[in-house]
Structure 1
Amino acid sequence: MRNKLKGFKVFPDRYGFFPFVFLIYLVMPSYYVAIEKGWKQMAGIGLLLLFLVTYRQLYNSFDKKSYTYWLVIQVVIIIFLAIFYNLYNIFLGFFAAHFIGWYKDKKTFYRALGLFAFAIIFPLIVQWKTLELANVFYYGVFIVIMFISPFGIRSMSSRMELEKKLDEANEQIKELVKRDERMRIARDLHDNLGHTLSLITLKSQLVHKLISKDAEKAKLETKEIERTSRSALKQVRELVSDMRAITVAEELIETEILLQAAGVSFQFKGDSKLEEVPLLTQNILSMCLKEGVTNVVKHSHAKNCFVQLVKRDGEIELSVLDDGKGLDETNEDGNGLKGINERLRLIEGFMKIISHKGTKLIITVPIIVKEKKAGVGS
């Protein structure tokens, strides 16, 4: 029993505080019920409590049948409260209008909209004699808004669904690219190194046999093994150098696309061509840049983001500046900053954070001269 209560949640976490804020619209219906007396007051309280149950269940219903069941109950309660208590209760229809917009199927959406229209118009017809001309205009404006709002909610819901599918598709593409890259590396290792390693094994066996019989020939074979192993080492280095690494210039293009999609203005200053910087350093710089910009999009609420790349003697400095709310000092190890630190340690780099009317992430790494080409001086 305790475990069930512990796992109970009024509304799903993904909606945050929004469902609770919406409950403020129950203040007026509660007042109209409170001014009644006797059994009518008790019945009204019961209807409002049932309305609250339907409101919660509509956020927690995951199948179409139960969702429609709770929506119908909610609409019926609105009709009762509007006819038998106060006509202003038809504005509870904003709750139902919100949930109608969640229907994905167009046919079901329009059916629910038809039921909703009846629930709003029927009480008006019943109470028509009590309405004044000024009130008709007042009701009319809000009823039109109620009828339009499901279309807006449905459009927003469809867009969110498309964005979710796009994110899932992008993740699948990334996984496919990784798998393809692993398969390519495996093929290259097998094709390029398989024969060479087999040759080394055979020659090692031959040397073992010749040591006691023909020492001079055994020495010649060991030289041949050394030459073959150098060749294998060269092949490994070529494979590693050919592996896909993201350059800073490529990541800057992705950065601009991400920020534009998030509605954040992007400005870059500096030279993104880092031809003298090894691919490993560029790859780590690119990952740090990506993490920093992701933080800007997710946490800063910024309108502008500035990226600057400065090359100095012996080092390179990359900075990401935003004009957002600033960094929470209690969470400086969070938001991926720990991961940035760990990556930078691999190349003896370090980072610095300045947070005042925005956040500035400064990344500094030493510029290491590229190694000589494989096989030279080995």
Structure 2
Amino acid sequence: MARKKFYLFPQRFGAFPYVWLLYLLMPAFNLQIEHGWKLLLGVCMLVLFAVTYQQLYWAGSGKAFHLWLGLQLLLIVVLSVFYTPYNFYLGFYAANFIGWYTDKKLFRPAYAVFALSILVPLLIAVQGMELENLVFLVPFLLIMLVFPFGIRSLSSNRLLERKLDQANEVIKEMVKREERMRIARDLHDTMGHTLSLITLKSQLVEKLAAKDPERAQAEAREIQRTSRAALRQVRELVSEMRAVSVAEELAEAGEMLRSAEIALDVEGDVSLEGVSDLSQNILSLCIKEAVTNIVKHSGADRCRISVELPAGKVQITVEDNGGGLGRAGGGHRAGNGLKGMAERLSLIEGSVTLNAGDSGGAVLTVVIPRIVKEGVTA
């Protein structure tokens, strides 16, 4: 069983938390003037402060977050009052986490406690502090007091963006559900009567086949005319459905890849003028499948999609710089995903191939004829 990899901070924050750890060197340097038990206690408190810093990132919110933040503020007060007032710079750490309170009911009391934790030690130390040192501290104090408001604004914006993304997903699902219901209603209304009629006539033909062959043939011809009419109705219904074009799918693919921090390069004429809606819809589904596999399995940071129009064909190539076919899973799974593409493309006489890239990664190529015969006789 593979061991789970340890992370000091949540991955979603990137390198940001690690950079702030460097500023702990300043209070550690200030402890050099201490001796004996006071030095030992100061080191223990500084280590505990680093633990609170890590735990606040993992807690994020809730009761544990309040407790760790309260302990951090207490450590700032103790280190500033009983050691050196310059330890008040540790308040920048707490200022960051105070800004995580997006709810005003929580932000206001948390900010008040934070401000007192910073101001009280300075007011205690101000009597023995030289004027020039005090003037030097004032700008940092003002920045520290304003800092939570800036962080809170960023946190609120991120929260709104997440809610907006969730709302958009809900809207997309509702649109899909409504479209499916509309199609179901239209199929029932347009095809229900026709199929019932074909069923009745086929039963009649079965009975007349031996008794009245001429009438049975006439009824069979009537079934053919009815089935052709039904086929026209289906085509009309399908033509009214909104097909996704390649250009639209590439725009959605760009959004998905950006969210996964994968750069996208698109080459060629994506409008594909003259290519039928059916062909573009199938090509769009293939692009969606390929991009989804790149995001999930490839480990790539760059993707290239090219659209070419060689003689009588449409060729779309999706290439990534990920782990390639040798990687577990690969950039494109050669399983159900590739099989599904091949099945869709077979409807329009297309094909799909998957190869290793020249410099690693995987290259998926989709080719379809540019002119598809649509005049099928029932």
> What is the TM-score normalised by the length of structure 2?
0.77
Which whole-Å CA distance do the structure 1 matches of 2:124 and 2:24 have between them? Answer: 23
Give yes or no for the alignment of 1:72 onto 2:74.
Answer: no
Give yes or no for the alignment of 1:101 onto 2:103.
Answer: no
Deviations 1:264-299 (Å, cap 9, x if unpaired)? 999977554434323233124435656788979x98
Q: Please tell me whether the aligned partners of residues 9 and 58 of structure 2 are also in contact (alpha carbons under 8 angstroms).
A: yes
Q: Please tell me whether the aligned partners of residues 315 and 364 of structure 1 are also in contact (alpha carbons under 8 angstroms).
A: no
2:351 to 348, 351, 369: 348
Which whole-Å CA distance do the structure 2 matches of 1:17 and 1:58 have between them? Answer: 16
Which whole-Å CA distance do the structure 2 matches of 1:140 and 1:341 have between them? Answer: 64
Q: 3-state DSSP class of the match of 1:365?
A: strand
Go from structure 1 to structure 2 and tell me whether the alpha carbon gap of 1:344 and 1:138 turns closer, same or farther (over 3 Å shift). Answer: farther
Which whole-Å CA distance do the structure 2 matches of 1:217 and 1:92 have between them? Answer: 97
1:371 to 367, 370, 373: 373
Which whole-Å CA distance do the structure 1 matches of 2:331 and 2:193 have between them? Answer: 47
Go from structure 1 to structure 2 and tell me whether the alpha carbon gap of 1:93 and 1:288 turns closer, same or farther (over 3 Å shift). Answer: farther
1:44 to 36, 42, 45: 42
Deviations 1:199-256 (Å, cap 9, x if unpaired)? 1222222233333433332232223223323333333333334332211344466678
RMSD: 4.2
User: What corresponds to 2:235 in structure 1?
Assistant: 237
Q: 5-14 vs 222-231, which deviates more? A: 5-14
Q: Please tell me whether the aligned partners of residues 33 and 45 of structure 1 are also in contact (alpha carbons under 8 angstroms).
A: yes
Which whole-Å CA distance do the structure 2 matches of 1:141 and 1:328 have between them? Answer: 50
Q: Please tell me whether the aligned partners of residues 315 and 366 of structure 1 are also in contact (alpha carbons under 8 angstroms).
A: yes
Which whole-Å CA distance do the structure 1 matches of 2:216 and 2:338 have between them? Answer: 52
Q: Report the alpha carbon displacement of residue 102 of structure 1 after superposing the two structures with TM.
A: 0.4
Q: Report the alpha carbon displacement of residue 154 of structure 1 after superposing the two structures with TM.
A: 1.2
Q: 179-188 vs 125-134, which deviates more? A: 125-134
2:25 to 20, 24, 27: 27
Q: Report the alpha carbon displacement of residue 99 of structure 1 after superposing the two structures with TM.
A: 0.2
2:209 to 211, 218, 231: 211
**What aligned pairs does 1:1-378 form with structure 2 within 5 A after superposition?**
11-33=9-31, 35-61=33-59, 63-251=61-249, 271-287=269-285, 309-318=307-316, 327=322, 334=330, 345=342, 346=345, 347-350=350-353, 365-373=367-375, 377-378=377-378
Deviations 1:99-157 (Å, cap 9, x if unpaired)? 00100112432332222222222222222244334422332232232223212211221
Q: 5+ unaligned residues in a row in structure 2: which ranges?
A: none
Which whole-Å CA distance do the structure 2 matches of 1:288 and 1:146 have between them? Answer: 52
Which whole-Å CA distance do the structure 1 matches of 2:258 and 2:44 have between them? Answer: 50
Go from structure 1 to structure 2 and tell me whether the alpha carbon gap of 1:27 and 1:234 turns closer, same or farther (over 3 Å shift). Answer: same
Which whole-Å CA distance do the structure 2 matches of 1:107 and 1:125 have between them? Answer: 28
Q: Please tell me whether the aligned partners of residues 344 and 350 of structure 1 are also in contact (alpha carbons under 8 angstroms).
A: no
Q: Please tell me whether the aligned partners of residues 344 and 365 of structure 1 are also in contact (alpha carbons under 8 angstroms).
A: no
Go from structure 1 to structure 2 and tell me whether the alpha carbon gap of 1:70 and 1:190 turns closer, same or farther (over 3 Å shift). Answer: same
Q: Report the alpha carbon displacement of residue 181 of structure 1 after superposing the two structures with TM.
A: 1.6
Go from structure 1 to structure 2 and tell me whether the alpha carbon gap of 1:265 and 1:61 turns closer, same or farther (over 3 Å shift). Answer: closer
Q: Please tell me whether the aligned partners of residues 31 and 39 of structure 2 are also in contact (alpha carbons under 8 angstroms).
A: yes
What is the aligned-residue identity percentage?
A: 46
Go from structure 1 to structure 2 and tell me whether the alpha carbon gap of 1:299 and 1:355 turns closer, same or farther (over 3 Å shift). Answer: farther
Q: 218-227 vs 162-171, which deviates more? A: 218-227
> What is the TM-score normalised by the length of structure 1?
0.77
Q: 5+ unaligned residues in a row in structure 1: which ranges?
A: none
Q: 3-state DSSP class of the match of 2:193?
A: helix
Q: Report the alpha carbon displacement of residue 93 of structure 1 after superposing the two structures with TM.
A: 0.8
Aligned length: 365
Deviations 1:291-321 (Å, cap 9, x if unpaired)? 788979x98878xx99764433122345689
Which whole-Å CA distance do the structure 1 matches of 2:46 and 2:259 have between them? Answer: 42
Go from structure 1 to structure 2 and tell me whether the alpha carbon gap of 1:223 and 1:320 turns closer, same or farther (over 3 Å shift). Answer: closer
Go from structure 1 to structure 2 and tell me whether the alpha carbon gap of 1:218 and 1:320 turns closer, same or farther (over 3 Å shift). Answer: closer
Deviations 1:171-191 (Å, cap 9, x if unpaired)? 112211211121112112211
